[in-house]
């Protein structure tokens, strides 16, 4: 039976990074993954260029960028491994990158540069990788509590035989994008050892509407425009200024992906489709001087397809601006700047970029990522820490992997 100091389950961003961190500090590390491919979420992210972190992250205020039952849980790990630390690592590996929007950093060439960097760090530090290799069972070793500080605590039955280790790191991600191998394995392990979960749900996901109510807007599929979007009431209200995308089923684009993490079933979302313009004032001025149809007046401020579709919903809006009543113009301006709609659901895990919820952070040490079950660690997306769109979730993967890697080296007597 082979023995290791650490077995990391999951060869994604968090798992590979943690393995490299622990191994370079002297731990004997095995990485297992049921998929033949590594880090598929890195590979497909950012249009194939991987939005690997966000330069604007303020590690002193994680609640601004992360959600969960305790958003401040991630402060310790994020403070000890910052975006600047990961940027410095890219510099060591000569990986070029650029800022695209609001602090979002992407590889100049390809997401594969990040994957190869992670694999190189593992290879040069002696990490063993078994892929594809499923795990059938994880159990504690009889008498482990009475053994030495670095003695085996766990046995794992795998496709390549049974192994023993001192510590297990669960880095299996959430339920999002099942076509690249997402499973509930991490949640099952947590339940097996009596750890609480926050109910998982799709996040950073498109929102959908019933076919009948969406019929007037389905022809707008593919149309994109900048909007202000919000949901929630008073203290719980969240707002983003991002691009909106109409789809055949509903709404998507960065604005909707961001708000979806905060949206709750039955809640309305509110959109200003012209956030940089006072539509009411513009239409009042047009009434005094323009013979153009209202749709043509709006097309200078909004995409013409949107202006045409919107004005078709009321006969009073299908006339020249100077012939419309003040009441009709005010109603039109309000409908565009305070459009309130109630989604019927989301496009689910198939289209969700991440999974919200997961292992309850009250079950974990924010310093080490070790759970109440000694020697069992959880990192990355499997934990109830969910970031905004824009590189925040990858930064959590690096930071939580780093925190666990440091702790593992100490737990295994390597530091």
Asked whether the beta carbons of 159 and 134 are under 8 A apart, the reply is yes
Name the residue ranges covered by the structural domains of the chain. 2-202+354-411, 207-346
The reported pTM is: 0.95
Asked whether the beta carbons of 56 and 156 are under 8 A apart, the reply is no
Beta-bridge mates of residue 162 = 157
Backbone phi, then psi, for 249, in 5-degree steps? -100, -20
Beta-bridge mates of residue 99 = 105
User: What pLDDT score does 381 carry?
Assistant: 98
Structure tokens at 128: 């063993």
Spatial separation of the C-alpha atoms in residues 359 and 312, rounded to whole Å: 49
Q: What DSSP letter does each residue of 38-78 carry, written as one string?
A: S-HHHHHGGGGT-EEEETT--TT-GGGTEESS-GGGGHHHH
Give kind and range of the element (H or E) at residue 403. Answer: helix 392-411
First to last CA, the chain: 26
User: What pLDDT score does 142 carry?
Assistant: 81
Per-residue pLDDT of the chain (415 residues; tens, 9 = 90+): 899 999 999 999 999 999 999 999 999 999 999 999 999 999 999 999 999 999 999 999 998 999 999 999 999 999 999 999 999 999 999 999 999 989 999 999 999 999 999 999 999 999 999 999 999 999 999 876 555 667 889 999 999 999 999 999 999 999 999 999 999 999 999 999 999 999 999 999 999 999 999 999 999 999 999 999 999 987 789 999 999 999 999 999 999 999 999 999 999 999 999 999 999 999 999 888 888 899 999 998 999 999 999 999 888 899 999 999 999 999 999 999 999 999 999 999 999 999 999 999 999 999 999 999 999 999 999 999 999 999 999 999 999 999 999 999 999 988 7
Spatial separation of the C-alpha atoms in residues 344 and 268, rounded to whole Å: 10
Q: What are the C-alpha distances in Å from 16 to residues 20, 287, 393? A: 6, 62, 15
CATH of 2-202+354-411, one of 3.40.50.1820, 3.50.50.60, 3.40.640.10, 3.20.20.370: 3.50.50.60
Matching fold, domains 2-202+354-411 and 207-346: no
Asked whether the beta carbons of 126 and 19 are under 8 A apart, the reply is no
Spatial separation of the C-alpha atoms in residues 93 and 97, rounded to whole Å: 12
| CB neighbourhood size of 326 (10 A) | 11
Q: Which CATH architecture has domain 207-346?
A: Beta Barrel (2.40)
User: What pLDDT score does 144 carry?
Assistant: 61
Structure tokens at 60: 């002193």
User: What pLDDT score does 219 carry?
Assistant: 92
Asked whether the beta carbons of 379 and 397 are under 8 A apart, the reply is yes
User: What pLDDT score does 288 carry?
Assistant: 85
Spatial separation of the C-alpha atoms in residues 275 and 229, rounded to whole Å: 9
Spatial separation of the C-alpha atoms in residues 126 and 25, rounded to whole Å: 11
User: What pLDDT score does 151 carry?
Assistant: 83
């Amino acid at each position: 039976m082979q023995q290791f100091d650490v077995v990391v389950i999951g060869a994604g961003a968090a798992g590979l990074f943690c393995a490299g961190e622990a191994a370079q500090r002297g731990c004997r590390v095995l990485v297992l993954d049921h998929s033949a491919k590594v880090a598929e979420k890195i590979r497909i992210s950012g249009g194939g260029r991987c939005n690997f972190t966000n330069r604007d992250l303020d590690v002193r205020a994680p609640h601004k960028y992360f959600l969960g039952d305790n958003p401040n849980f991630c402060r310790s790990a994020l403070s000890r491994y910052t975006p600047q630390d990961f940027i410095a690592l890219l510099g060591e590996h000569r990986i070029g990158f650029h800022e695209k929007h609001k602090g979002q950093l992407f590889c100049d060439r390809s997401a594969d540069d990040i994957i190869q960097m992670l694999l190189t760090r593992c290879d040069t530090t002696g990490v063993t990788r078994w892929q594809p290799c499923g795990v059938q069972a994880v159990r504690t070793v009889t008498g482990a509590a009475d053994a030495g500080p670095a003695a085996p605590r766990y046995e794992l039955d795998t496709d390549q035989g049974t192994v023993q280790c001192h510590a297990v790191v669960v880095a299996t991600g959430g339920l999002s994008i099942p076509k690249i191998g997402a499973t509930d394995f991490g949640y099952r392990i947590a339940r097996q050892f009596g750890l609480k979960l926050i109910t998982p749900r799709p996040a950073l996901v498109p929102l959908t509407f019933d076919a009948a109510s969406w019929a007037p807007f389905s022809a707008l599929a593919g149309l994109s425009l900048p909007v202000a979007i919000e949901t929630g009431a008073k203290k719980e209200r969240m707002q983003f200024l991002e691009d909106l995308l109409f789809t055949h089923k509903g709404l998507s684009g960065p604005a909707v992906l961001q708000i979806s993490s905060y949206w709750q079933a039955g809640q309305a979302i509110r959109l200003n489709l012209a956030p940089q313009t006072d539509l009411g004032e513009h239409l009042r001025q047009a009434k005094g001087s323009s013979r153009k149809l209202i749709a043509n007046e709006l097309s200078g401020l909004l995409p013409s397809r949107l202006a045409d579709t919107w004005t078709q919903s009321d006969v009073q809006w299908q006339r020249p601006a100077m012939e419309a009543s003040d009441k009709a113009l005010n109603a039109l301006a309000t409908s565009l700047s305070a459009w309130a709609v109630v989604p019927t659901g989301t496009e689910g895990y198939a289209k969700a970029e991440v999974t919200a919820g997961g292992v309850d952070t009250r079950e974990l040490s924010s310093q080490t990522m070790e759970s109440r079950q000694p020697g069992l660690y959880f990192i990355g997306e499997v934990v109830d820490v969910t970031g905004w769109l824009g590189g925040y979730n990858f930064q959590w993967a690096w930071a939580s992997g780093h925190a666990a890697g440091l702790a593992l080296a100490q737990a295994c007597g390597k530091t």
